[in-house]
Amino acid sequence: MDDFKYKNTCEPHKKEQKPFVPLFFIQRPLFKDSFKYIEPLGLMSLAAFIDDKGYEPGVFTGTSIDALNLLKSESERRPIAAIGFYCDFENVSLIESFGGLIAEKFSIPVIVGGPQASALDKDFFLRSKALAAAIGEGEETLFELLEFIVNKKGELNRIKGITYIDAHGALISTAEREPIGDLDSLKHQKRSYSLTGPKSNIAILTGRGCPFRCAFCFMGGAAKKVRLRSVGNVISEIRTSLDENPGIKYVWFADDTFTLSRERLEEFCVELSKLRREKDFVWFCEGHPGLIARWPEMIKRMVDSGLARMQIGIESGSARLIDLYRKQTNLAEIEKVVCACRDAGLAQLCGNIIIGGAGETAETLNETWNFIDRLLCIAPGMLDISFTLFTPYPGAAITECPRDFGIEIADRASLTSIGDFPVSRTNELDIYDISAAKYDFTEKLVSCMKRLLVDGKVPHELIMSHYRLSGLYGISSVWHRAVYSQDPFLNRKYSLLTGSSAETIGGAPRDQIYEWRPLRVFSLWNAVAWREMTPEISGYVLSPLEYQLILHCSGKLKLGEIVERLYSMFMDAFEAFEEFKDMAFEILRDFDKKNWIVFTKY
């Protein structure tokens, strides 16, 4: 057997106490705010598998400091058999240093897995002190490694699907492990595995493997045969999770396989609709535009069954780059899907754009922006666009043969970037050109979105849906973060509309409107500026009647009472009460358009 360089901190398996195995997804403090939304999907699946095999798992997401504090407290009250780390492109250097600290400070074996595992080199193992890295699907691999550590069963060189350093200092990769064929045989995840408390969402994989081979994607290089779980098996897991955790309001289907089959998608819609009659939740999925474009009518069916947000890969607005990325779709199909989502009433459709990827030029950047601008105008308020820089994921075709794609990778380990700075250049654009392009795109995107809002192109109900999804289900959007919440009047108005019984002037019954109470959404002292004794709000000069109306919109008087009260002040300027009443109503309608007021019944 290969030399084992760790102290064995656990006695051979004791029935009365399961060996404790914490599984970590850690990042640096910059990403701390995102942890409340992150569901460690792969780790939860691993936890379910080893739980069924006699181990006690725990799943932690958070910063390295929080993880260290957790380990200190846990190690004081019970032995820790081994520690598993999820390793991706962003946190690989953190795992390298943190793993070494854990191995030396606690003498606990370290196991690494995740999408970056296949690219780990000898230096990583020497610095991280990791016992092994699990390549590919890790359930059975992790179990066999734990049996080796805890119960001293087997030999490292006979465990399939791992990389490790042997007793002679050589980096060894064992035979590839076959992926799990029957996914329904896997145990369901339990929310009790979480060491960081319950989240408001649950992530679900309905299948594994990917039929596509996108040139920039990790899955494009690591894709295996597609295996799908039965719809009944998936729904059973969701139901159990919702029963155990009533706080879960958002079901996130994270796999690329969710929209592969129309028939399977229809079955999901039927079952999700049934479940939503019992439980209050909405759901998200990723979809391939080339597939969805074949049956766009299914989008309405999905929305009716609770789809609140969907993601499609756009990647570029250049037809040449779409082909170079091997997307197996085209710009016409992407636009067709955007239109279908708009017509079906989908609240949020998100799409990612790669800046500075394969073959990028000034011309392709211009084509991409023109395409984005067109799509935003087609579906204002619905389409959520995000920008990412090209990332050299291990195994991806572009990473393996960058010259074939007109790209040069300057910083393959991404030591200079946390997703905020390019690590590659193209034949035409250098790193600084690409960085400037991402900044320019972000500025133009927000400017375009704000213009669409100011021009009244974003439907009221769509804005309402974003606030409802944020408040009730914890679902954020670029529109909400970068546009709506930055407008103090609009943000306050829609927060009131979704968080109370308030209504717009058009939302209150027309024949009862004078029994409702207008309420301004701001404080006069910090909203009204006085210029030579003339009141202004955001540069708009108020007439005496407008000022008196906004002054009386305190929610304390009914609209009818306000009109009667003010008529005595302005009656000399009007021939009759009805004329004044109509004028006051039109002013309030304008206030409503400016997002200055809401109406309450009581």
Domain ranges, residue 412: 200-486
For residues 405 and 267, state if they share a domain: yes
Query: Per the domain annotation, does 13 fall within a domain?
Result: no
Sheet holding 534-537, edge to edge: 528-531, 534-537, 540-541
Q: What is the pLDDT of residues 251-289, one digit of tens each?
A: 999 888 899 999 999 999 999 999 999 999 999 999 999
Contact 402, 424 (CB under 8 A): yes
pTM recorded for the entire structure: 0.90
Last residue of a domain, which of 154, 173, 192? Answer: 173
First to last CA, the chain: 78
CATH of the domain at 343: 3.80.30.20
Residue 392: is its pLDDT beyond 70? yes
Structure tokens of 561? 């009472």
Instruction: Give the side-chain half-sphere CA count within 13 A for 236.
Output: 10
The neighbouring-strand residues paired with 285 are 253, 310
Q: How confident is the model at residue 333 (pLDDT cuts 50, 70, 90)?
A: very high
CA distance 356 to 520: 47
CA torsion through residues 568, 573, 574, 575, sign: positive
Domain stops at, among 456, 486, 516:
486
- 3-class secondary structure, 133: strand
Query: What's the pLDDT score for residue 89?
Result: 85
What would the mean pLDDT of 343-361 be, rounded to a whole number? 96
The predicted pLDDT at position 4 comes to: 38
**Nearest alpha-carbon partner for 558 in 522, 515, 593:** 515
Q: Which of 34-43, 54-63, 475-484, 505-514 has the lowest mean pLDDT?
A: 34-43
Q: What confidence tier does 311 reach under pLDDT thresholds 50, 70, 90?
A: very high
Residue 183 resides in a domain: no
Q: Say if residue 240 is in the same domain as residue 383.
A: yes
Together in a domain, 40 and 60:
yes
What is the number of domains present in the chain?
3
Q: Which of 173, 190, 214 is the last residue of a domain?
A: 173
Structure tokens at 182: 């029957």
Same domain, 589 and 446: no
Asked whether residue 73 falls in the same domain as residue 133, the answer is yes
Query: How confident is the model at residue 7, as a pLDDT?
Result: 41
What's the average model confidence in pLDDT over 237-258?
A: 91
Structure tokens at 366: 């211009």
On whether both 291 and 416 belong to a single domain, the answer is yes
Do 459 and 373 belong together in one domain?
A: yes
Determine the pLDDT at residue 31.
Answer: 59
Nearest to 412 by CA among 427, 394, 397, 426: 394
The whole-angstrom distance between residue 378's C-alpha and the CA centroid of its chain comes to 23
Q: Do both 231 and 338 map to the same domain?
A: yes
* Tokens 């009914």 belong to residue: 558
Same domain, 468 and 521: no
Asked if the structure places residue 114 within a domain, the reply is yes
CA distance 225 to 423: 31
Q: Are residues 208 and 301 in the same domain?
A: yes
Mean pLDDT on 446-472: 96
Q: In the prediction, which pLDDT does 319 show? A: 97
- Domain presence at residue 6: no
139 and 43 part of one domain:
yes
What is the arithmetic mean of pLDDT over 133-145? 96
Q: Which residues pair with 355 in a beta bridge?
A: 389
